[in-house]
A = this chain, B = another copy of it.
């Protein structure tokens, strides 16, 4: 006998977790689509050279790679961005630009499995490719905002509370440029990205020692990263700090346009805030960057992040493809919902249960269930004519809301008994009126 087990870092999803997961995916797809993003899909396996081209040493080490039947070096994709770059270059002639796509897919990384990190996880990306227009940056933040509103993350007591933090890479780059150290962007970014983990002093040390920038410049960088206040206050402070620098001025102007457009659409201004401390380590971002935090669970990190890049697919094509996108952290959100008590222990996709207990009435039960389904009401029919008590216990465990019970007496009178499984109350109902009743009682 073989022991049934999953690999370390991999997991099964049981119905009670898959159901809210599918709801999240459906919501994300609906929001992405409502802005015109269209779905694509790419293979799990790619030529190794495609995956290694773009990755860092870190991702290369984590790659699941092997030699396939045809002696090709292949690897399992570790994100959806590299496949998008390859896809866009390969299908350039078939696509229309701006190309707005979303992509839900599993990715694999052989990383150390600690603290809720998995080796297989789902990414939910959306990107607008082929335009430098700030309109795309604005839409991206609107999508994130709609997404979080629709997902409606809340603990049982509070309402949806989240913050989208916005920054623009040109602000920091402008500051470095102003201090004559534009070439130090990468080490400064790397240092700054750790500020919440290691503290200000360590970042100072890393900048002045390892990166070797002057104390004046390091002080300016730290001053920048510590700016707080309303969006207006931060913009004013930035103008002072960066006055006279063209690149910095562009960044400030973009942040200003972005926040003002978002405000004009009626999105909650308190939720979309400029935060010049966010750096997002990845050095390919060149303009707007986003992170999204849940007020009630800041510790889990950003649940939706992204930014603008100058050239998506430079490794595969000479076509310059600027773009902007973000990625929803589905697994983080599921964890958050679990922690906030938002997930109920329900393992059924339908709320209606029909026990089977007059054995020779099978056709009548099936016909009644079929009538309910035709009205759009899902119903699970128990397949064996067991004792009613046992069947109701099963219904209870699975989390059904109502049982629709029909015995010989009910059949004779074309009635059914509707039992509310939460309260235990029962009412009698005409069979041909049951659908109406359930359509009203249906949980949303």
Question: In the bound complex, do residue B347 and residue A38 qualify as a contact, i.e. CB atoms below 8 Å apart?
Answer: yes
Question: Taking A316-B2, A349-B36 as contacts, is the C-beta distance between A44 and B44 under 8 angstroms?
Answer: yes
Question: Taking A2-B315, A18-B38 as contacts, is the C-beta distance between A12 and B70 under 8 angstroms?
Answer: no
Which B residues touch A11, using CB under 8 A?
A: 43
Contact of A100 among B46, B70, B380 (CB under 8 A): B380
Question: In the bound complex, do residue A384 and residue B131 qualify as a contact, i.e. CB atoms below 8 Å apart?
Answer: yes
User: How far apart sit A266 and B363, CA to CA, in the bound complex (Å)?
Assistant: 10
Which A residues are within 8 Å of any B CB, using their own CB? Answer: 1-8, 10-15, 18-19, 21-22, 29, 33-47, 49-50, 53, 62, 64-70, 72, 74, 76, 86-87, 89-91, 94-96, 98, 100-101, 106, 108, 110, 120, 128, 131, 133, 135-136, 138-139, 142, 146, 260-261, 264-266, 313, 315-318, 347-350, 353, 356, 362-363, 366-367, 370, 373, 377-384, 394, 397-398
Question: In the bound complex, do residue B43 and residue A142 qualify as a contact, i.e. CB atoms below 8 Å apart?
Answer: no
User: How far apart sit A329 and B378, CA to CA, in the bound complex (Å)?
Assistant: 23
Task: Tell me how many chains of this kind the complex includes.
Answer: 2
The 8 closest A-B pairs by CB, nearest first: A36-B380, A66-B66, A15-B38, A10-B43, A264-B363, A135-B383, A4-B90, A34-B378
Question: In the bound complex, do residue B15 and residue A101 qualify as a contact, i.e. CB atoms below 8 Å apart?
Answer: yes
Which B residues touch A67, using CB under 8 A?
A: 66
Which B residues touch A133, using CB under 8 A?
A: 383-384
A286 CB, min distance to chain B CBs, angstroms: 17
Closest to A32 in B: B349
Which B residues touch A15, using CB under 8 A?
A: 38-40, 101
A104 CB, min distance to chain B CBs, angstroms: 10
Contact of A19 among B22, B38, B362, B378 (CB under 8 A): B38
Question: Taking A91-B14, A370-B142, A383-B135 as contacts, is the C-beta distance between A110 and B266 under 8 angstroms?
Answer: no
Which B residues touch A76, using CB under 8 A?
A: 44
A391 CB, min distance to chain B CBs, angstroms: 11
Question: In the bound complex, do residue A39 and residue B18 qualify as a contact, i.e. CB atoms below 8 Å apart?
Answer: yes
A384 CB, min distance to chain B CBs, angstroms: 5
Known: A7-B46, A10-B45. 8 other contacts (CB 8 A): A1-B317, A3-B316, A6-B43, A10-B43, A18-B40, A18-B41, A34-B377, A139-B383
Question: Taking A14-B94, A384-B135 as contacts, is the C-beta distance between A7 and B49 under 8 angstroms?
Answer: no
Question: Taking A3-B316, A98-B383, A362-B135 as contacts, is the C-beta distance between A36 and B348 under 8 angstroms?
Answer: yes
9 A-B contacts (beta carbon < 8 Å) = A4-B317, A8-B70, A21-B41, A35-B373, A35-B379, A45-B64, A133-B384, A265-B370, A266-B370
Contact of A381 among B135, B318, B349 (CB under 8 A): B135
Question: In the bound complex, do residue A350 and residue B33 qualify as a contact, i.e. CB atoms below 8 Å apart?
Answer: yes
Question: In the bound complex, do residue A39 and residue B12 qualify as a contact, i.e. CB atoms below 8 Å apart?
Answer: no
Which B residues touch A53, using CB under 8 A?
A: 2
Which B residues touch A66, using CB under 8 A?
A: 64-67
Question: Taking A4-B89, A33-B378 as contacts, is the C-beta distance between A12 and B366 under 8 angstroms?
Answer: no
Closest to A352 in B: B36
Question: Taking A139-B381, A362-B135 as contacts, is the C-beta distance between A91 and B12 under 8 angstroms?
Answer: yes
A160 CB, min distance to chain B CBs, angstroms: 16
Which B residues touch A146, using CB under 8 A?
A: 373
Which B residues touch A47, using CB under 8 A?
A: 5, 7
